[in-house]
Amino acid sequence: MLREANKEMRTCLAPQSANPCRMDRLSMMNLLVLLCLIACCIVGAFGIQCYICNSITHPECENDYEKFLRNCPVKSFGGRKAVPPIGCRKYRQTANQETSLVRECAYLGEDVEGKSNKGSIGVSRVMSQCSDRPACNSAISTGAVALLVVPFLLLIGN
């Protein structure tokens, strides 16, 4: 029984133009491509997740923020419509001797760490924005990209 299975496997793997298993390999390739496309759609549907909270209204936003993990929605603002999130932002703001921490989705800007600025009315901020760390995940993961590369390589190999 094992010999027959090995012989059949060698026949399927043999580079013949009239290979009886050729259709099976093409069907397998189609299935693999379909699974990759489904995986990409699922990953893309979940999008970017960030912690969304403000320590003024939720003091636990400072240290116990795990429960504030949310999907970032697409937003319209400042004359822009349907702006997708690009990452996550965290900033510590001081105004009138009161300090607060805000965690939110980022829609503009670039990755920065500890960027500080002062406003004209005595408000100061220290901001960090990320798109490459946990809770700063991108819409398509490296796993999904790898799933797309594998069928491509298999297709080239045939």
Cα–Cα nearest to 50, from 81, 91, 78, 95: 91
What's the pTM value of the predicted model, to 2 decimals?
0.57
Compute the C-alpha angle 90/91/93, nearest 5°: 155
Tens digit of pLDDT per residue, the chain (158 long)? 545 655 555 555 555 555 555 556 667 667 655 554 444 444 444 589 999 999 999 999 999 999 999 999 999 999 999 999 999 999 999 998 899 999 999 999 999 999 999 988 889 999 999 998 768 743 333 344 444 445 545 555 55
User: Looking at residue 44, what is its pLDDT?
Assistant: 45
Task: Give the contacts of 39 (CB within 8 A, at least 6 positions apart).
Answer: 143, 144, 147
Say which residue the tokens 């970017």 belong to. Answer: 48
Domain boundaries, the chain: 2-11+21-44+141-157, 49-130
Q: Cα–Cα distance between 77 and 85 in angstroms, integer? A: 12
Reduced DSSP (H G I as helix, E B as strand, rest coil) percent helix, strand, coil of the chain, to 5: 35, 30, 35
φ, ψ (nearest 5 deg) of residue 43: -60, -45
Q: Cα–Cα distance between 66 and 101 in angstroms, integer? A: 15
Cα–Cα distance list, 38 to 16, 34, 48 (Å): 32, 6, 18
φ, ψ (nearest 5 deg) of residue 63: -125, -30
Contact in structure between 74 and 116 (CB atoms under 8 Å): no
Task: Give the contacts of 21 (CB within 8 A, at least 6 positions apart).
Answer: 11, 12, 13
